[in-house]
């Protein structure tokens, strides 16, 4: 797995790899199942009981490849909210501790580039061809929004078996 996968997680306009690069053919339903299952595992690691946003994984074109290749990736953005700030901070600590024990390589553990400098963890699972971007957003007391942990799980770019058969 390359750092390009992490860049793809953060930059929704492209995908890892260069034009013309060989892309693995994968079963799209299996990739979707793996991305969704990974999201569930991350929530389990967090160990918080809160509200979780609903949308499931969806495909997104990898724009770094010619249109005729039908290259895409699976992406699952979600968040957990309605949890006290201290519990969210402890959940981030559990992720820092347990991601490496579960086969993830943490490639960034710091703050994002937003004005608020939110805590951010970026990790890769080369075995599963996945990357995750996790951010902690703490809202001021009495604010309009709820504090939350935002998670985006992304697969590497692939061509689905059905697209290859067409």
Note the residue count of the chain. Answer: 166
> pLDDT tens for residues 42-73?
999 999 999 999 878 999 888 777 665 678 89
For residue 166, the model assigns a pLDDT of 42
CA-derived radius of gyration, the chain: 16
For residue 76, is pLDDT > 50? yes
For residue 8, the model assigns a pLDDT of 38
For residue 24, the model assigns a pLDDT of 85
For residue 9, the model assigns a pLDDT of 38
For CA atoms 93, 96, 97, 101, give the dihedral sign.
positive
Q: How many CA atoms lie within 13 A of 156 on its CB side?
A: 22
**The model's pTM:** 0.83
Model confidence band, residue 162 (pLDDT cutoffs 50, 70, 90): low
Here the tokens at position 89 are 């901070």
């Amino acid at each position: 797995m390359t750092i390009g996968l992490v860049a793809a997680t953060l930059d929704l306009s492209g995908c890892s790899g260069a034009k013309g690069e060989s892309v693995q053919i994968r079963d799209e339903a299996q990739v979707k199942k793996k991305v969704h299952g990974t999201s569930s595992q991350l929530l389990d690691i967090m160990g918080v009981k809160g509200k979780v946003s609903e949308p499931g994984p969806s495909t997104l074109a990898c724009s770094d490849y010619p249109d005729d290749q039908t290259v895409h990736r699976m992406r699952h953005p979600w968040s957990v909210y309605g949890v006290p700030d201290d519990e969210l901070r402890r959940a981030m600590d559990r992720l820092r501790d347990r991601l490496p024990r579960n086969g993830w390589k943490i490639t960034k553990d710091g703050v994002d580039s937003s004005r608020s400098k939110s805590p951010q963890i970026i990790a890769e699972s080369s075995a599963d061809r996945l990357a995750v971007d996790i951010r902690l957003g703490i809202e001021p007391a009495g604010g309009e929004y709820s504090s939350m942990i935002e998670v985006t799980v992304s697969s590497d770019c692939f061509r689905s078996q059905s697209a290859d058969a067409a």
